[in-house]
Structure 1
Amino acid sequence: MHDKLEIRAFLLFLVLVTIAFFWVLKPFFGAVFWACAITVIFHPLNQRLLRKFKGRRNLTALATLLLCILVVILPVIFIVSSVVAEGVSLYEKLQSGEVNPAVYIEQVRSAFPLLEQTLERFNIELDNLTDQAGDAAIASGKFLAQHTFSIGQNAFSFLINIALMLYMTFFFLRDGDKLVNLLIRALPLGDARERQLFTKFAEVTRATIKGNLVVAIVQGSLGGLIFWLLNIQAAILWGVLMAFLSLLPAVGASLVWIPFAVYLLATDQVTNGLILIAFGAIVIGLVDNILRPILVGRDTRMPDYLILLTTLGGIALFGISGFVMGPVIAALFIAFWGIFMHEFQRKEPEPAAPAPEEAGPPLPPPGAI
């Protein structure tokens, strides 16, 4: 009895201390998570460099981290700063009247009168759409303009989180195998199950970032490039918007380039409009079908509807980190239930064979009559 009381008290304090530990780390949750995600992505490269550097883990982790900074961190900082600058510039043009969404929609209405009739069948009025487009454009630009100052104020906090993420990434790259083995020893789920779950976590993290993020970057880059070549204002801003919308299956980036193509056709820029339609349908549209199976693989890919729901839900709950966390949680949910059905669910008893029906006396053999 005394031993059982000690064990229960110890387990209670273990749970409390663990909760307190995660509560202390809560302000840095995003930095810790992205350090884990970057480690998972760059782990294969780190292993190859480790063999080339003959087992020198510190040098290997440092080299991998420098590559990560060059390939990921610096481009992201450049894109974010460019998007903010273009968003503020667009807001100023909206305020001055240089850019007026109502004028653009009116030009489309004059060029395509059948479009208005088609929209009215779906209870969409162009007048309301004009007002909503203008309000949305001004609200979006105002948001960027207002937050530019706060971004500058929070630059120090942002840099601190980046530094913490890179610092932890270095140690995760260097000691990742030891940490995983330590967790496997500590967790009471069974070593085989734990290794299966850690493997699933790594697979889905790579699949989400490589499959979704890389495809989004490629589609956004291609969209921004064609917008720049066609001399459409704020090409980087629209390219980033296409990258975000590429998370939506089937439609994705077309929600941006189709309205611009319609506008180009409506304003007698037929050549540019046809170029944008052809480029969007053939090049941007096929990126998802070609790249995603190569980067993700058939075995780790989840259904598109599940990726969409978990991505949007993850972003709503966890912010930008939810882009990866949502699909990872869904994959672990599937993995846990798969283990449960495989190992714990009772097998249903096989149905008994039906009793033979009563029959009359056997028929005489042929020719016996």
Structure 2
Amino acid sequence: MKFKNFVTSPRLENNAFLALMITVSLAFAWILQPFFGAVFWGAVIAIIFMPVHAWLLRRWKQRRTLAALVTLLLIVLIVVLPLSLLTGMLVKEGAALYQRLQSGETDFARYFQQVVAVLPTGLHDLLEHFGLTDFKELQARITEAIGRGSQAIASQVYSVGQNALDLVVSFFVMLYLAFFLLRDGMGLSRRLRVAVPLDPEHRHHLSAKFITVIRATVKGNVLVAATQGALGGMAFWYLGIQGALLWAVIMGFLSLLPAIGAALIWLPVAIYFLVTGATWQGVALIAYGVLVIGLVDNVLRPILVGKDTKMPDYLVLISTIGGMAIFGINGFVIGPVIAAMFMAVWDLFATAREEALAEQVAPDAGKAEPPAP
């Protein structure tokens, strides 16, 4: 009898439905896994350009499809085309650098030898102790490293060629998804908020936090990286350093790491200038790197990223580095989003607990003891 009650109970039906919902959700995520990057950036692009789409909707009397198409065209013009042109220029710069390395015009062993030759005796002895002053051996190591790097680059290029169809498919999946998220995003967002079993106030707070962090992180980090890369590239071009565009892009990419970034490139170059007698170039590059390039990171990033996300700088740094270590380039968005949601959830929990404790204390305080007879 009890078994019959159990198999017909609403609790079993609810648990079975919950298990089914979790199972199909995980299966759906598994299906999307090969296109994770395309789906992720399609959603990010839709979130960032949603205000533009909303503005167009107001002007064109809710013509959602037309507004979404125009917004997508703006995305292609503002984001896709400049990135494509920059990629083409980078391929050209990288090929030129590879040819200079092969011909010996660019010889890092010679640069290293010039630096070591002017080092103080104590530091020279320390390098000699570790076997770092044997230039023939160093030349062999560098040549071997360049060979391995060249093979790796060649294999990557071959892999890209072999997987060109996958890249094209992923690219169009991203744009296709962005279009439909722009057109139908508001309705889908409302549907998801209703489906989440949380208090409406909490749902609104968490969804607003999620969108704010994504917009602030992408716009802030990309703007800071582009600014630092451009400033560093202009400095390298002015100082006559070959491959300024390539180094600018590398500095911009490294600038995604807060407080570290571009200095990994311009500081060794400045040190090389100093130890090889180009004193004014070295001093100027250090001053420019600290006062101009570094100032962008120290001033602009907290304003664009930390202010909107209401996250301390150290948490932005740690979550960005951790996110990139786990998720690759996508991690510079995913890391801060997870950190911000962590803070928001625990803040909601602490606030609710404080309110509950205050409600418990209030009735007890209102109960006065009866007067003694």
Specify if TM > 0.5: yes
Map 1:224-243 to 2 at 5 A: 224-243=233-252
Aligned pair partner of 1:24 in 27, 31, 34: 31
What's the counterpart of residue 358 of structure 1? none
AA aligned to 1:44 is P
> Within 1, Cα distance between the matches of 2:218 and 2:79?
12
Q: 1:54: Cα distance to partner?
A: 2.7
Residues 232 and 293 in structure 2, CA contact (< 8 A), matched pair in contact too: yes
- Is the alpha carbon distance of 1:293 and 1:307 closer, same or farther for their aligned partners in structure 2, counting shifts above 3 Å? closer
Residues 119 and 125 in structure 1, CA contact (< 8 A), matched pair in contact too: no
Tell me if 1:105 matches 2:112.
yes
How many equivalent residue pairs? 350
| Percent identity over paired residues | 47
> Within 2, Cα distance between the matches of 1:222 and 1:87?
20
Residues 261 and 274 in structure 1, CA contact (< 8 A), matched pair in contact too: yes
More off after superposition, 48-57 vs 22-31? 48-57
More off after superposition, 244-253 vs 293-302? 293-302
Structure with the largest fraction of helix: 2
- Is the alpha carbon distance of 1:117 and 1:64 closer, same or farther for their aligned partners in structure 2, counting shifts above 3 Å? same
Q: Aligned-residue CA RMSD in angstroms? A: 3.0
Deviation string, structure 1 residues 221-278 (Cα, Å, up to 9, x no partner): 2212222232212222211221122233333211211111222334444444344333
What's the counterpart of residue 45 of structure 2? 38
Tell me if 1:300 matches 2:306.
no
**Superposition TM-score, scaled by structure 1 size:** 0.84
Q: 1:128: Cα distance to partner?
A: 8.3
Q: 1:179: Cα distance to partner?
A: 0.9
**Superposition TM-score, scaled by structure 2 size:** 0.83
Aligned pair partner of 1:72 in 79, 93, 105: 79
Residues 257 and 320 in structure 2, CA contact (< 8 A), matched pair in contact too: no
- Is the alpha carbon distance of 1:39 and 1:286 closer, same or farther for their aligned partners in structure 2, counting shifts above 3 Å? same
Residues 109 and 115 in structure 1, CA contact (< 8 A), matched pair in contact too: no
What's the counterpart of residue 114 of structure 1? 120
What's the counterpart of residue 207 of structure 1? 216
Q: 1:139: Cα distance to partner?
A: 4.1
Aligned pair partner of 1:56 in 51, 56, 63: 63
Aligned pair partner of 1:290 in 252, 275, 299: 299
Aligned pair partner of 2:202 in 193, 197, 211: 193
Aligned pair partner of 2:265 in 251, 256, 264: 256
> Within 1, Cα distance between the matches of 2:246 and 2:125?
28
AA aligned to 2:155 is Q
- Is the alpha carbon distance of 1:27 and 1:327 closer, same or farther for their aligned partners in structure 2, counting shifts above 3 Å? same
More off after superposition, 90-99 vs 146-155? 90-99
- Is the alpha carbon distance of 1:124 and 1:331 closer, same or farther for their aligned partners in structure 2, counting shifts above 3 Å? farther
- Is the alpha carbon distance of 1:295 and 1:143 closer, same or farther for their aligned partners in structure 2, counting shifts above 3 Å? same
- Is the alpha carbon distance of 1:108 and 1:300 closer, same or farther for their aligned partners in structure 2, counting shifts above 3 Å? same
More off after superposition, 223-232 vs 157-166? 223-232
Unaligned stretches of 5+ residues in structure 1: 351-369
What's the counterpart of residue 133 of structure 2? 127
Residues 311 and 324 in structure 1, CA contact (< 8 A), matched pair in contact too: yes
Q: 1:82: Cα distance to partner?
A: 3.1
Residues 31 and 162 in structure 1, CA contact (< 8 A), matched pair in contact too: yes
Unaligned stretches of 5+ residues in structure 2: 362-373
